[in-house]
Amino acid sequence: MSKVVIIGNGISGVTAARHIRKNSDKEILIISAETEHFYSRTALMYVFMGHMRYEDIKPYEDWFWEKNRIDLMFDYVSHVDTDNKMLEMKSGENVTYDALIIATGSKSNKFGWPGEDLNGVQGLYSYQDLQLLENNSRDTKRAVIVGGGLIGVEMAEMLATRKIDVTVLVREDVFWGNVLPKEEGEMISKHIRDDHHIDLRLNAELEEIIDNGNGRVKAVKTKDGEVIDCQLVGLTAGVSPNVEFLKTSKLEIDRGVVVNEFFETNIPDVYAIGDCAQFKETVNGRKNIEQVWYTGRIMGETVAQTICGNKMSYNPGPWFNSAKFFDIEYQTYGWVFNELKENQADYYWEHEKEKICLHLIWNKNTDEFIGINTFGIRLRHDLFDKWLKEKASIETVMTELRNANFDPEFYSHYEKDIVQGFNDSTGKEIRLKPQKWWRKLISA
């Protein structure tokens, strides 16, 4: 019976273990130096805010692993010896494998800022980061967050619930400006400032983090020369693959562990999945490093098939993602970049009073629907996945917009205004179809 060893107990590694067990009797060992048991990383903020306990964010009970014959080891892999198929552990123990899956996730980015290693300076990715934030925030009156992405807005919300004044430094001219089009970025920037009283500084970059003389942060200095007093600095300018410990091995490492579409590395019987994997060639036009929860799950399912004898390539389908900006829900399907590409047309609709918007992208030559952003309106994943796979026209999407709405009963609907604005903007004469009766029942 062969032995599969998985380094990392995040969504990618645990999903791989579960699906290998479903399809085989192989011996399975998961090694992690972060936590003894798998937890939902996306729920860490709710533990900090008191909405959940740590035990509530573990998807499986502690007895699950023994029942399913998945062994767990709480230790750190210090070296991977692929010649002898052996892992050297920090504890001194050696672990052998027949197949190895590397699923070590990400780590918070650092860019060599002076003072970035001071006490009170941290990222927000791991369970250890959550514990550190609990300690660092205890006597904090003001925090400075560096970076305007999803982790940054999460940390801002978390600290705001503790009545901590928060300043966010964003180098773009709108929040998350390297991802969001200007219209959505401006709306979210206004929401963060006006509705949640966060001191959002746009076009602001960190120069250095200032030491209080005892190895702890006392302020930050921006490139404009402004000094902002603070007791906590959150580094949330993205994440990068957690692969430092692999650089002494024979594995091909670039930014991440280099893999093909089957997650195979340059070494036989060694695979990499999740945030730490870097594709040689992009899949479906996606980035060659995908640091998203659902893609990690798909990668785990896919590599399990290959290891169990059913060789399978990665096929994640059309791009989608979702997040939350304080109390505004965000969804995106297909490709909506911060700037229009060649041959693309767009239509942006925003509610005149509320923080609700929708942004559509299509090919102006063929009318093929390309992508959509929405804030404050829930959309049906199944329909947009179908339309993107079938290369549906923008007319199809607009006429069926009522059926794409997934908001609960009694929520306001804006499809009539959206379509009217679309017609006025494009000169088209789209007629909105009524919502199908079975969609109404599901919403109710």
Q: Is the pLDDT of residue 246 over 80?
A: yes
Same domain for 292 and 270, yes or no, is yes
As a whole number of angstroms, the distance between CA 105 and CA 126 comes to 10
Q: Is the pLDDT of residue 439 over 80?
A: no
As a whole number of angstroms, the distance between CA 160 and CA 167 comes to 10
The whole-number pLDDT of residue 195 equals 97
Could you say which DSSP state residue 330 is in? E
300 burial level (CB within 10 Å; 0-12, 13-18, 19+): buried
Q: How confident is the model at residue 148 (pLDDT cuts 50, 70, 90)?
A: confident
Same domain for 303 and 329, yes or no, is no
Same domain for 364 and 392, yes or no, is yes
Among 307, 337, 361, identify where a domain stops.
307
Q: What is the CATH number of the domain that holds 174?
A: 3.50.50.60
Write out the residue range of the structural domain in which residue 369 sits: 320-443
Digit-coded pLDDT (tens) for 47-98: 999 999 999 999 999 999 999 999 999 999 999 999 999 999 999 999 999 9
Question: Which residues are within 8 A (CB) of 341 and not within 5 positions of it... i.e. 6 or more apart?
Answer: none
Same domain for 144 and 132, yes or no, is yes
Q: Are strands 94-96 and 86-89 parallel, antiparallel or unpaired?
A: antiparallel
Q: Are strands 3-7 and 27-32 parallel, antiparallel or unpaired?
A: parallel
The whole-number pLDDT of residue 249 equals 98
As a whole number of angstroms, the distance between CA 199 and CA 197 comes to 6
| Average pLDDT estimate for 366-370 | 98
Q: How confident is the model at residue 436 (pLDDT cuts 50, 70, 90)?
A: confident
Q: Is the pLDDT of residue 444 over 60?
A: no
The whole-number pLDDT of residue 437 equals 53
| Average pLDDT estimate for 422-442 | 81
Q: Is the pLDDT of residue 441 over 90?
A: no
Same domain for 400 and 301, yes or no, is no
What is this structure's pTM?
0.94
Question: Which residues are within 8 A (CB) of 165 and not within 5 positions of it... i.e. 6 or more apart?
Answer: 141, 142, 143, 199
User: 342: phi > 0 → left, psi -120 to 50 → alpha, else beta; which?
Assistant: beta
Q: Which of 205, 45, 34 is nearest to 106 (CA)?
A: 34
The whole-number pLDDT of residue 435 equals 82
Digit-coded pLDDT (tens) for 372-417: 999 999 999 999 999 999 999 999 999 999 999 999 878 899 999 9
CA 171 and chain centroid, separation: 20
Asked whether residue 112 is domain-assigned, the answer is no
Q: Which of 228, 176, 240, 237 is nearest to 199 (CA)?
A: 228
Asked whether residue 205 is domain-assigned, the answer is yes
**Whole-number average pLDDT of the chain:** 96
Q: What is the CATH number of the domain that holds 388?
A: 3.30.390.30
Asked whether residue 114 is domain-assigned, the answer is no
61: helix, coil or strand?
coil
Asked whether residue 115 is domain-assigned, the answer is no
Same domain for 79 and 137, yes or no, is no
Domain count, the chain: 3
Please name every residue paired with 108 in a beta bridge, in sequence order, or none if there are none.
Answer: 239
Digit-coded pLDDT (tens) for 114-137: 999 999 999 999 999 999 999 999
Digit-coded pLDDT (tens) for 316-332: 999 999 999 999 999 99
